Structure 1
Amino acid sequence: MFARAFFAALMSSAFMVSAAQAQEVIEWWDFLGGGDGVRMKELINRFNEEHQGQIQIEATTLEWGTPFYTKVQTSAAVGEGPDVMTYHLSRLPLGVETGTLSPITEEDLANAGLATSDYQPANIDAASVDGQLYAVPFDIHSIVLYYNKDALQKAGLLGEDGLPTGLDGADNFAAALKKLQEAGYQQPLSIHDAAGDSMWRIFYSLLNQQDGKFLDDNGEFLSGDNLDKAVAATSLMASWVADGYAPPNTEYAASIARFTGGEAALHINGVWEVPTMTDLATKGELFDWGAIQLPTFFDHPATWADSHAFAIPNNQGNEMTPEHRKAVMEVIGWMAKNSTFWGSAGHLPAYNPAREDPEFQAMQPNATYASLAETAAFDPRSPLAGVASPVYDAAGNYLMPAVNGELEPQDAMEQMRDDLQGQAY
């Protein structure tokens, strides 16, 4: 009797050990702070609750920008990177060039319950290099035009549907800014013109609205008439400051404060500030506001965009087992299928069914500017481009001074071209 009971206890203990060993622990790195970080932690907690005993995510948040990408590159090179990580698609070419990223195969996608047809073609293209997928897009984040409904109503620029009217076209936009001045807004437009990153996002939108290519298929920066289109985009941005519609050299926090404080009626910024506006409005500390896709100033709609995505490091000498990789892909697939919630951070879910979900369709102002997913202009495909890149540095060195009236647009674009072309060789 004792022997039978002992054997049963031993078998039970062995089963529990086996079950514990069967659980896959996924090491996760991200760079998400603020509202993004809060929402991602909630998604991770939900995943862990639903997959208890099977798959568990152990998450670490690292510093955004250059420190993150440097750490990923050096860690993967010695086989000590995570199992999965967040990654900007704009930095994908550098990750592939340095051998930092593991290709995502059709089998991987199938294990995640995903297919490339679940995403916008431009998004898949941005997640690929030479036709090979290296990341799975999680969102599309872009810049939008925030607006004060009361201010636009007063200036006769608000339609019955609560959306702005008369803003498309460079001349019409200038006329609208003039009307807002006459309605009492001395400098009606708020932009973050004290740094290159925000200026790049607007500039790249305007360049793409003209079908301009910052980097052509031969690896040349601002070649041919692309330089003229870049000068036109820069000149338009500079005119907003020169004509007194926007103050020069405004820092990021100040640009938001000008809008939320009622000094400016319009504000160009990323969708990531939607939670800021929503929180203030919930507290009763903000006017009636909205956000729309950036107006079409030139030939057709186009807006700078990037994506947070999920990538798998190519950990040298530490190859992942097929079972573990399948668990990693299950994590990625679950995140995609639950990304409607990610829209509450202002982003557009990259996964088409999540954007088509009735919950997202009722999410405002996201649903209003969701059309930008179809006209998204992703950064040039180059190791020199993307977040915290030489292109962003060049925007700070040449584009930003031109917008603020410290450098002629023509000179700025020629210098920017020559600087980057020199780095490419």
Structure 2
Amino acid sequence: MRLIKTILLGTALSLAALPALAKQDIIWWDFLSGGDGVRMKALIDAFNKEHPDIQIKGTTLEWGVPFYTKVRTASAVGEGPDVMTYHLSRAPLGLEEKVLSEITPKDLEDAGLKTGDFFDAPIKAATHDGKLYAVPFDIHALILYYNADMLKGSPYLDANGKLTGIKTLADFEAALAWLKGKGVPTPVTYQSGGDAGVWRVFYTLLSQQGGEFVTNGKVLDGDNAEKAAKVIDTMSRWREKGWAPEQAEYQASVALFSAGKSAFQLNGVWEVPTYKDLEKNGKLGFKWSAVEIPPFMGKRATWADSHAFAIPNEGAKTVSGEKRAAVMKVIGWMEKHAIGWADAGHIPAYKAVTESADYKALQPNATYATLAEAAAFDPQTRITGVASPAYDASLNIIAPAIQGYMSGADAVQQIKTELQGKLK
């Protein structure tokens, strides 16, 4: 007995002599507000509870230009976060600004991940010159929302209340005309008066023609110009016919659908929780769902981007060693628990989650998850992506053209004049 006590005492003294494991505080920046922000904060809280040795200290900054300006400035002076959310469409400009640290094979190993775990499109968007610079978290894309009640009695709703019979632009416009004839004020709504909403619809319809915004260092070169003009003229026709709203800002475009004044909405997957919550609380007076955007102009394609996790490059202060391994552990955990993020409408980029039974039970999410195969990411250039010159052109050139101030062909010429010089 004395020997056992002596051994136990010695063990206790030895343990007491060991240094305590250092807690790693991970400084985290994101730009996620609304439903996205609520769900991300829930994930952060869950991680922190499970990992007393690693604690995420999160800060949410303003989306768009303010966020990326802050990241660029902070990186330059070595005052950036340990990890941040980042749009993959912004990665080319981030590399030019030297703010993205390479995610190495060792980093992925520390996270318990490999590139084959993800859908191809976001991995391709995160890879430049053969190197990975971010870990994709989702695919968020434009989808087609519809009000099933408004479509009752039309050829566009099947016996189960699901959208049917809309495969081409002619089909879609026939549906819009049918709705207008039934007294629907605005058959289809989207952010027609804002840069992001206009760009997403424009780029979707351009991509559905096999069009490319930038080819071989040239903006809308060759027949891409004609395809772009066709898109702009189509969007203008929707406005002229009274099918789409006049210069609707984002919240107004959403309100048209939620208030039952539009039967269709072209918007991102991130509004799915908005309608789920309204429906749950008895504040949505109609049945709704959402699908992958039909191939209106020939081929399956829809504008898409990814929220991703990135580590800022801060020179000698770039996160390394044990802290970097802890950051990658955070990223790996987030990927494997992305079902909590899928609830925000997004398609997890980590295939194991998207292919899980839990995800397949999410509706309408599982219905439009097919768009992962048709995701059309912005070109990998310095003039495209979130808060880019292309977004400026959408607001200053394409939106006015949609409102009838110029033809599609004239708008395309202005876009080329405005953006070509900025590619260099």
- TM class by shorter-chain length? over 0.9
One-letter amino acid matched to 1:228 = E
Q: 1:356-393 deviations in whole A, cap 9, x for unaligned? A: 11111010111111011110000111122111111100
Larger mean Cα displacement after TM superposition, 305-314 or 106-115: 106-115
- Check conservation: 2:102, 2:131, Cα contact below 8 A: yes
Q: TM-score, normalised on structure 2?
A: 0.94
Provide the residue aligned with 2:31 in structure 1.
31
With over 3 angstroms needed to count, the CA separation of the structure-2 counterparts of 1:172 and 1:59, relative to structure 1, is same
Shift of 1:8: 10
Provide the residue aligned with 2:196 in structure 1.
197
> How many Å separate the matches in 1 of 2:39 and 2:338?
10
> How many Å separate the matches in 2 of 1:225 and 1:43?
46
With over 3 angstroms needed to count, the CA separation of the structure-2 counterparts of 1:103 and 1:366, relative to structure 1, is same
Provide the residue aligned with 1:158 in structure 2.
157
Provide the residue aligned with 1:387 in structure 2.
386
Match of 2:171, SS state, is helix
> How many Å separate the matches in 1 of 2:293 and 2:366?
14
Provide the residue aligned with 1:210 in structure 2.
209
Match of 1:172, SS state, is helix
Match of 1:72, SS state, is helix
Matches within 5 A, 1:184-263: 184-216=183-215, 218-263=216-261
Provide the residue aligned with 1:4 in structure 2.
none
Match of 1:267, SS state, is strand
Shift of 1:51: 0.9
Shift of 1:321: 3.2
> How many Å separate the matches in 1 of 2:257 and 2:224?
33
With over 3 angstroms needed to count, the CA separation of the structure-2 counterparts of 1:115 and 1:161, relative to structure 1, is farther
> How many Å separate the matches in 2 of 1:28 and 1:283?
33
**Root-mean-square deviation over aligned CA pairs:** 1.7
Matches within 5 A, 1:17-96: 18-19=19-20, 21-52=21-52, 54-96=53-95
Shift of 1:111: 1.2
Provide the residue aligned with 2:3 in structure 1.
none
Provide the residue aligned with 1:279 in structure 2.
277
> How many Å separate the matches in 1 of 2:83 and 2:320?
14
> How many Å separate the matches in 1 of 2:115 and 2:316?
29
Match of 1:345, SS state, is coil
* Structure 2 spans left out of the alignment, 5+ residues: 1-9
Match of 2:234, SS state, is helix
Q: 1:224-272 deviations in whole A, cap 9, x for unaligned? A: 1110111111111111111221121122221111111111111111111
> How many Å separate the matches in 2 of 1:201 and 1:320?
35
Larger mean Cα displacement after TM superposition, 153-162 or 34-43: 153-162
- Check conservation: 2:142, 2:303, Cα contact below 8 A: yes
Match of 2:316, SS state, is coil
Q: 1:61-85 deviations in whole A, cap 9, x for unaligned? A: 1111111111111111222211111
Q: 1:32-81 deviations in whole A, cap 9, x for unaligned? A: 111111111110111111111x2111111111111111111111122221
- Check conservation: 2:155, 2:165, Cα contact below 8 A: no
- Structure 1 residue runs of 4+, over 6 Å off? 7-13
One-letter amino acid matched to 1:361 = K
Provide the residue aligned with 2:119 in structure 1.
120
Provide the residue aligned with 1:411 in structure 2.
410
- Check conservation: 1:99, 1:314, Cα contact below 8 A: yes
Shift of 1:317: 2.0
Match of 1:394, SS state, is helix
Provide the residue aligned with 1:359 in structure 2.
358
Provide the residue aligned with 2:296 in structure 1.
297
- Check conservation: 1:138, 1:351, Cα contact below 8 A: yes
Shift of 1:424: 2.1
> How many Å separate the matches in 2 of 1:184 and 1:230?
31
- Check conservation: 1:189, 1:245, Cα contact below 8 A: yes
Does 1:264 find its partner at 2:226?
Answer: no
With over 3 angstroms needed to count, the CA separation of the structure-2 counterparts of 1:158 and 1:136, relative to structure 1, is same
Does 1:100 find its partner at 2:104?
Answer: no
Match of 1:407, SS state, is coil
- Check conservation: 1:231, 1:410, Cα contact below 8 A: yes
One-letter amino acid matched to 1:82 = P
- Check conservation: 2:312, 2:318, Cα contact below 8 A: no
> How many Å separate the matches in 2 of 1:76 and 1:142?
29
Shift of 1:190: 1.4
Shift of 1:211: 0.9
Larger mean Cα displacement after TM superposition, 195-204 or 176-185: 176-185
Match of 1:413, SS state, is helix
Q: 1:159-206 deviations in whole A, cap 9, x for unaligned? A: 124321122211111111111123331431112111121010011001
- Check conservation: 2:101, 2:133, Cα contact below 8 A: yes
Shift of 1:98: 1.4
One-letter amino acid matched to 1:206 = L
Shift of 1:108: 1.0
> How many Å separate the matches in 1 of 2:404 and 2:375?
29
> How many Å separate the matches in 1 of 2:62 and 2:246?
29
> How many Å separate the matches in 1 of 2:311 and 2:227?
37
